[in-house]
Structure 1
Amino acid sequence: MPTFPAQPSPANKSIALCVLFPVFFLAILVSHFTLLRLPYFWDEGGYYVPAALDFFRTGTLIPQSTVTNAHPPLPTIVMAGWWKIFGFHILATRVLVCLFAAAALLAVFRLTRTLLGEKAAWVATLLTAIYPVWFAQSTLAHADIFAAAFTLWAIALYLEPSEDRPQLKVAALFSLAALSKETAIVTPLALAIYELSLALRASRNRAVPKIPATKHLKSFAALSAPVLPLLTWYGYHRFKTGFIFGNPEFLRYNATANLSAYRIFLCLYHRIVHLTLHMNMFVAVACAIAAILMPAIAPRARLSHPVVTAISVILAANLLEFSILGGALLTRYLLPMYPLVILICVAIWQSHMARLQWFWLAGLTAVAFLAGIWINPPYAFAPEDNLTYRDMIVVHQQAIDFLQAHYPEATVLTAWPAAAEISRPDLGYTTHPYKFVAIENFSLIQIQRAASDPSGYDTALLFATKWAPPQNALSLSRHNSANDAKYFDFHLDLLPNEAAAILHGEVVWKTSRGGEWAAILHFPRIVDARLNPPR
């Protein structure tokens, strides 16, 4: 491994991490108190919770009640084990996710304290905790929070400023990250390539290198090791299902359909925006750029060149990976990268400004992050990037409550994820499963398709499948709408009255909250109710 000089003095490491963990955990529980009993959302209900329930009830790692897509099984195993102890209910799941979020924040604290000192560690950890994307994901049972916790701990140990680093622990943690989310493998592989390049450079160096090539090769081996458990899982999945990377449609949507050069370029642009501008991250980055224009203050703790290089390798590898893979531009795929961006910003503030000045920059960034938790940006984004996801859950819950009260035996026309919400009582929305007819979304084409065969349903549950600024409001993403529709499945949902006119129904209920809306349509059908006497 490269040499990572220790910056803070030992006296700065006065607070034991085992003391901080319950503090972080309780802070997350309290700050997310109103979210802990919300029904499951989006991919929670679409895959992760059903997959864990299958393992919980039948012991199979291959999901039976949802489509298998070859995601590694560690979140499934952890959630099922947790339910065995505390029972299957939503609150138990949310508390488990809070535990992993707290562990991830503890890794951020340790990493920053090691490199920059304790004051910087508190600032970086707090900013990470309240960054809108991180805040929203801290109670959602997606695989990304599990992978983020293991990845950040592995990075913290990898960047330890010592001669004998715990390489087995680094390999184990990166392995657990890859078994939580397959895309997490890119971080150790990128660092392995980096270590290999250092080994080659050290072997060519005629002078005695600071670190011999053999140590870099040992690091290369340790960082490459996480590939083995991931390949083992894929081999098991192939043996059980006949598919290596999930069903063909999943593979097409997330990989093979995304390989055009122009789409990759567009994704790279979006990913850079996600890391540097999205959800008010631009405030932290702008403050860092302004601080760079000022002379550095010596002898302040700052990131060494090897540390900056290693972090840059990690960020670049993840940017490139998620510009190629993944059908959806979800920001949670980059979840462990946001603390690294914040770490770099804090390092720049601390090294170029007086303490009181950079604390003001941290305070300004904190205000921007807190605002982003509740205030939506002027462009389209995924509801799970801030508390808009709560608005979506609430309007869906209200709509399904209306269905249960007025149309308990209905056959419902709707789209995912509401199709899962009304058909799986385990997700927390309904007390009994509904029959449904699914369409992809509520765009004009899909509604016309549904209108061509009206006999299969008698009720419809419509909702906003994409969040976008209102038509009469400022929108920074409107000029990209053509590319977004072509490459990223962006579309415009019809309003309830427009859909009702095409489907020849009536809007019997609707509500909206924070830009999210839902509506119930009913279709009076003429039914032949004649009784034929027996012969």
Structure 2
Amino acid sequence: MLYPLFFVAVYLSHFRLLRLPYFWDEGGYYIPAAWDFFRTGTLIPQSTVTNAHPPLPSILLAAWWHLSGYVVSGTRTLVCMVAAAGLLGVFKLARTLTNTTVAAVTVLLTAIYPIWFAQSTLAHADIFAAAFTLWGLTFYFNQNSAEAPSRLALNPIYPIYAAVMFSLAALSKETSIVTPVALVLWETTLLLQNRREPLSRRLHSSWIVALLTPILPLAAWYAYHYHHTGFVFGNPEFLRYNATANLDAYRIALCLWHRLLHLFAHMNMFVPVVCMIAAMFLPVAATNKRLPISRPALKAIGVILLANWIAFSILGGALLTRYLLPMYPLILLVCVSTWRRRLPERWLLLAALSAAAFLAGIWINPPYAFAPEDNLTYRDFIVLHQQAVRFIDLKYPQATVLTAWPATSELNRSELGYTNHPVKTTPILNFSLDQIGKAAADPGSYDVALIFSTKWAPPANRVNLGRQNESADTKYFDFHRDLSPSEVATILHGEVVWQAHRRGEWAAVLHFPPYR
């Protein structure tokens, strides 16, 4: 009965975002893959590079498009539905481990946490995987409470439910397998500790089998992918970028630090975490009968967070925070539970402080480089690109446009919502001095350029906490400095005919005379 309420709240809070064209990886992979399945029924993308991501998001999107029609607002409505389902899982999980009040506050903080808020309308696989993972954890913790042995006899269906949910998560995003595998290791440890107790052996053995089950459908998908493409984990370049090229000790250490900040500090997450740490130094009043999260559950949550922290410090070429999406509700649940336990009379003030910090983070950018999809900066990016593409459509409809990804897809693929007809492009990697120099060597291959900020970073005259890490970020994480429109115009001998800025994001259109 709560689901319609959750959906309406998510839908209305994102109403102004529902008609935005597709953004970054949406247009680069997920929408083209679903579009191919929608039109041809093939699970292997044909119009974009295949990278072995499991097909469940494509299947769900294509099925929904048969009902809503292929419109951007329909896609984003489906994502709102999935986000609401994930929040319902957070509520059920939190209420199972604590009580209704803590659950309600945890859901509210999760919903307005900038990263979750931004991802709640973006058609990335991560929101699908997060919703299924959280429901898998709900069934896992519902069974594995303090009275778990007796519950096993009464509710043997919970391991099956959890296996199904974790399997769906793995078929949404392959890296979701990290969470059930981490719980397998945890259950194996408990099995060894309690091997003399028959009921405990039965409990832990049942969960080990259930939590290993998601490996089977994921392996089946990879076998299918190999049969049709000859690659198991996607094309060699995708595998290199996301796995083999990352096995450098210094890079892993650097990623561990970044991921630690992503989990406990990024987008004002430090506010509830610092409040929790401070509250832990306060004694628990003797009259306080409120029970915290049970110790076994806390240990299991710790194992999940540790496994995801390490795994996503090794896997993935880009350190995107959406990979950690299901971890944030767990952190917030522990924070809220601790506040209520230690400050029974004033814990709601800490919740209000955290909520204010999160709401500010949705619109106010932090003083360091970050991915635009971590808050509403992605909307600024999309609006600028809409305006730039519209300008090109009106002024230079037959032009060949020099630009970089994702604008190449925005101009080439009319189904992404930026243009009504494909526009020819000459692609470069970015707008750094090196790439613009290469473009200058072949001036006859384009007559218009669409340049934009490919990386968000604080302006030069503002505080930048990440400035000291730029050399390492350049080496390992593709950080670079884009040239300004005037600098590009000077090098390429063109004229800036349109430009605009929005909160650190910028875009410009340059025109080049034919007599260059």
Query: Counterpart in 1 of 2:360?
Result: 371
Aligned-residue offset at 1:215: 2.1
Alignment of 1:406-485 (within 5 A): 406-485=395-474
Alignment of 1:185-334 (within 5 A): 185-203=177-195, 205=196, 208=197, 211-297=199-285, 298-334=288-324
Q: Deviations over 1:273-328 (max 9, x none)?
A: 00100000000001101111101243112011100110011101111110000000
Alignment of 1:55-134 (within 5 A): 55-134=37-116
Q: Please, which of 504, 509, 513 is the counterpart of residue 515 of structure 1?
A: 504
CA distance in 1, matches of 2:192, 2:298: 20
**RMSD, aligned CA:** 1.0
Structure-2-length-normalised TM-score: 0.97
CA distance in 2, matches of 1:263, 1:299: 47
1:69 partner amino acid: N
CA distance in 2, matches of 1:500, 1:68: 36
SS at match of 1:151: helix
Query: Counterpart in 1 of 2:169?
Result: 177
CA distance in 2, matches of 1:189, 1:334: 16
Structure-1-length-normalised TM-score: 0.93
CA distance in 1, matches of 2:202, 2:101: 36
SS at match of 1:430: coil
CA distance in 2, matches of 1:193, 1:278: 29
Q: Deviations over 1:63-93 (max 9, x none)?
A: 0000000000000000000011221110110
CA distance in 1, matches of 2:62, 2:210: 30
Q: Does 1:353 align with 2:343?
A: yes
User: Does the CA-based 8 Å contact 1:117-1:301 persist in structure 2?
Assistant: no
Query: Counterpart in 2 of 1:29?
Result: 11
User: Does the CA-based 8 Å contact 1:185-1:226 persist in structure 2?
Assistant: yes
Aligned-residue offset at 1:212: 2.3
Query: Counterpart in 2 of 1:342?
Result: 332
Query: Counterpart in 2 of 1:4?
Result: none
User: Does the CA-based 8 Å contact 1:55-1:80 persist in structure 2?
Assistant: yes
CA distance in 1, matches of 2:72, 2:35: 12
Query: Counterpart in 1 of 2:379?
Result: 390
Query: Counterpart in 2 of 1:41?
Result: 23
Q: Deviations over 1:346-376 (max 9, x none)?
A: 1110110123x10000000000000000000
CA distance in 2, matches of 1:497, 1:184: 44
Aligned-residue offset at 1:202: 1.5
Aligned-residue offset at 1:196: 1.1
CA distance in 2, matches of 1:467, 1:442: 13
Query: Counterpart in 1 of 2:119?
Result: 137
User: Does the CA-based 8 Å contact 1:301-1:350 persist in structure 2?
Assistant: no
Aligned-residue offset at 1:214: 2.7
CA distance in 2, matches of 1:336, 1:56: 28
CA distance in 2, matches of 1:108, 1:212: 27
CA distance in 1, matches of 2:27, 2:193: 49
2:161 partner amino acid: K
SS at match of 1:212: helix
Aligned-residue offset at 1:455: 1.4
Aligned-residue offset at 1:134: 0.3
1:194 partner amino acid: W
CA distance in 1, matches of 2:44, 2:31: 13
Return 216-225 or 127-136, whichever deviates more.
216-225
Q: Deviations over 1:482-517 (max 9, x none)?
A: 000000000000000001111111111100111110
CA distance in 2, matches of 1:526, 1:496: 21
User: Does the CA-based 8 Å contact 1:274-1:331 persist in structure 2?
Assistant: yes
Query: Counterpart in 2 of 1:501?
Result: 490
Alignment of 1:15-26 (within 5 A): 19-26=1-8
Aligned-residue offset at 1:188: 0.3
Gaps of 5+ in 2: none
CA distance in 2, matches of 1:329, 1:301: 37
1:258 partner amino acid: N
CA distance in 1, matches of 2:38, 2:185: 39
2:372 partner amino acid: P
CA distance in 2, matches of 1:176, 1:225: 11
SS at match of 2:461: coil
Q: Deviations over 1:392-429 (max 9, x none)?
A: 00000000010001000010000000100011110000
Q: Deviations over 1:216-238 (max 9, x none)?
A: 11110110010000000000000
CA distance in 1, matches of 2:103, 2:291: 12
